[in-house]
Chain A
Amino acid sequence: MRTEARPAIPGHELSTEEQRALAVDGVLPSRVMRHSSPGDAARGLQLCAEAGAAVIACGGGTQMGLGMPPLRYDVAFSTLGLNRLLEHEPADLTCRAEAGMRLEELQTILQAKGQRLPFDPPHPDQATLGGIVAANTNGLSRAKYGTVRDWVIGIAVAYPSGKVARAGGKVVKNVAGYDLIKLHIGALGTLGVVVEVNFKVQNIPAAEGTVLARFERAEDALAAGHWLARRYLLPAWLVVLNREGLGLTGLAAEWPWALAARIEGYRQDVDAARAEVSDAVRRHTGRVEAQEAPAGFWEAIRDWSAPAQNAAVVFRMASSLIGIKQAVEAVGTDGGVAAQPAAGIAHVRVAANAASVLQRLRRASPDGTQVIVERAPAELKASLDVWGPVPAGFALMQGLKRALDPTSSLSPGRFVGGI
């Protein structure tokens, strides 16, 4: 039998310390690659594919806890060398940047022109644009302003074929060609590595306000949230927390349940919305406790789902607006809860018995609810069914993976159903 010698695995060697820093679920890479142009990145991916090396793309590393432990991992593929702003035309409300740029850096540039991306993922000082796209990291304003897919208007992706291909464009209204942008949002880098992103941006709202309210019972807090979810003046952030959840924000309040609303808009919008939130609270037997939040409170809520502690286990539940109420009530005292009743999303931070709590939540949640493990310590993850059952259309997803990454060199095994 004749065996063909494979090319050596490309990239630079890593020290043990560097290996640890780049580990994914405890699996260590042997090499690192970092490029400063999209073309070089694509050639790098091609070299990896030819060498049979498994590649995991990483940016700021804030969402590396997503997904199953990789089946193989040879090369850490850093996008941090791709960090330039390419275009920003304030009057067009659009911008274009490389994928390795940190969100906060882009926001600072936009802010100078009174603009922003309405993204509020955890740790924006670390999170990169490409990472936000790949992990589909949506913060607390998703119900009001939409998710990542609503703001990305163009994309460039490096493929293992060695090519860079684009989709979408630079204008806000565009239906030319397939919308391959959607394919890469949330794909965890399993189909290609995002190297450039074009966004539309928005003007920073003129005013903002806060309402913090206390509830005795989960169902009332969630019902108030649901009532607000269907109103025209939806708060930008609308979060329902249980006592454990609230404790994790650092707010020294012993309320059984809390509703926190961060309101944005024109001054009159803010006044009207504050009145509406207060009305919703009273209608549902809650009590308005404050009209402003203590320093650091909103940042703590923003980062709530991505705690720095390695030991933390976080689940993300997604359901309909009605379904999420039931799903959250099912959590009971098993963990801290931060629910977004207007989005149909809830994060649960579990202290102990993660596997059994996960099973129970999946059983107890209403039909159509999905519970995924957003992060868990490596040693625990192997025993958790991270994604739950495969979604409908899974055969098509496998087909897409085979077609775009035939050697399965991109993040093998991390995605849904072992893709």
Chain B
Amino acid sequence: MEQAASERLARQLTEVVGARYVLADLYERRLYQYDASPETALPDLVVIPGSAEEVARVLKICGEAGVPIVSRSGATGLSGGCVPIEGGVELAFSRLNRILEIDYENLRAVVEPAVVNLSLSLTTRPHGFYYAPDPASQAASTIGGNVGTNAGGPHTVNHVTGLEIALSSGELIQVGAKKSAERTGYDLTGLLVGSEGTMAAVTKIWVKLMPVSPVSKTLLAVYPDVATASEAVSGVVAKGILPAAIEMMDNASIRAVEAATHAGYPVEAGAVLLLEVDGIREVAEDLTQQMLQVCKEYGASELRVAKDEAERQALWRGRKAAFSAMGRLAPDFYVMDGVVPRTRLPEVLRAIEKISERTGYRIANVFHAGDGNLHPLVLFDGFKPGQYEEVLEIGNEVLKLCADVGGSITGEHGIGLEKRQHMRFVFSDDDLEVMDIVRRVFDPKKQMNPGKIFPVDGEEAHPVRARVTAPRARAPAGVAGDEEIWI
């Protein structure tokens, strides 16, 4: 944006939110140029509104000025979703972080977008209820961000019953059933969840609360390799058991995790499986016995059931720290979010192994085996010239692989900037055309988070690789694993 235009816009926005909440200095804007992906881009201005009405007024001003608007709250996204690739105004929601209402009688809560996911469940759990979507980033990611990418174990969309949205026209509307069972008309709420801020800015969210399961039992099973562990998963599912979570880690991940957290995983193991079932005590115990039996039949070399909540948390801690622990193995990693039908897991994992052998890059695997959601982590050193580019190529290949077996290119991280060209792996021009038509109904000039989700003609996959700017400072040896990165 031209200096003069930017200054004029800053003056207008200052009238709405106050001088303190319009950031124009380069130093301050740099703090808003990133998310948890490697891509960065500077916004022209950062605006931090203090109410839904202010959001709507900011949007109206930006809308009239033809300026891009990018919503951002926790910035834990892994796909560049809130990176302002076309500049413009970064709309930071950090001040809209209140839980507005918890209505236990009607099993609903009303929250502002920057409420941290976990804080809602922490607030409601003592009353016997919780908010079900639980992305592994839940201690840092916000419900507004989760709505943007439709993130979380059970998808956010099934737990959001209403939204207040601001449009680029400056309108502020509340859509959806909210506390009611249903509302007539098209399901705008369902459509908006997962639209990654490309249609509207969300200013308020109505969500469902659920009764907490009386008991959760967690089981760790150790296998010589990932293929056998995958077969054990199939065996469990074939028994008609559908655990609340089925998580798997391969040897590279286990070694990294063990070095970082001492969770007690056997470092020689080819794969560990974490299985968790919910239910009333009798059912949870019975299912655990059945799963132990199946896991044994499939050749588990070690089986461990968490005896109490402390042990259960310890088992999970290893899994949740898996990504940050990768720092033990390499300075950088690149993570993917492919999904495949569960039955195709073994073959896809073999193919990924082949890619690793061929390219010489180590690929660690941590994934949600229950729903076929893979998170291959390609380990590399960003300081070595050319490595990042090569790693992105591996990413292309893995996502193509997932798409080709009938899967998806993203299970929870969203398309964002990172995968916009990969959309063509799973959608035809006709599919994309309808999506574009729908988007323009909400935002005719395409000012809301431009450059995301939709592929750009004539561009190769990973269009932004050249824009990766200054190399990040190398962390001092020995600190990797001390901070958690969640996926």
Contact = CB atoms under 8 A, between A and B. Distances in A.
A399 B190 CA distance: 17
B343 A176 contact: no
A186 B238 CA distance: 34
B441 A400 contact: yes
A176 B423 contact: yes
Interface residues of A, number: 79
A177 B185 contact: no
Nearest to B162: A392
Interface in B56-106: 104-106
B18 interface: no
Interface stretch (B210-218, B220-228, B351-359, B472-480): B210-218
A182 B163 CA distance: 15
Interface string B156-186: 0110000000000000011101111111111
B53 interface: no
Given A322-B105, A396-B442, A166 B428 contact: yes
A368 interface: yes
A176 B407 CA distance: 10
B410 A176 contact: yes
A114 B341 contact: no
Nearest to A143: B181
Given A91-B343, A318-B177, A368-B178, A180 B440 contact: no
B130 to A, nearest CB: 11
Interface of A: 89, 91-94, 114, 146, 149-150, 157, 159, 163-167, 169-183, 185-187, 191, 202-203, 206, 226, 229-233, 265-266, 268-269, 272, 318-324, 343-345, 368-370, 372, 387-388, 390-394, 396-397, 399-400, 403-404, 415-417
Contacts of B190: 149, 179, 181-183, 185
Interface stretch (B19-27, B29-37, B276-284, B294-302): B276-284
A266 B435 contact: no
B186 A173 contact: no
A392 B187 contact: no
A103 B342 CA distance: 25
A171 B438 contact: no
B339 A178 contact: no
Interface residues of B, number: 85
Contact of A176 (B188, B214, B279, B426): B426
B213 to A, nearest CB: 6
B15 to A, nearest CB: 27
Interface string B423-445: 10011101111110111111000
Contacts of A163: 430, 433-434
A233 B210 CA distance: 11
Contacts of A324: 181
A412 B212 CA distance: 45
B469 to A, nearest CB: 28
Given A89-B341, A176-B415, 5 more contacts: A166-B431, A173-B412, A182-B191, A368-B178, A403-B437
B441 A179 contact: no
Contacts of A392: 173-175
Contacts of A396: 173, 175, 188, 441-442
Contacts of B438: 178, 180, 183, 400, 403-404
B212 A232 contact: yes
A173 B435 contact: no
B162 to A, nearest CB: 9
B404 to A, nearest CB: 12
A50 B373 CA distance: 44
B434 A268 contact: no
19 contacts: A149-B158, A150-B158, A159-B434, A171-B340, A171-B411, A173-B373, A173-B412, A174-B410, A176-B427, A177-B415, A202-B242, A319-B181, A322-B105, A387-B184, A391-B183, A392-B175, A393-B174, A397-B186, A417-B185
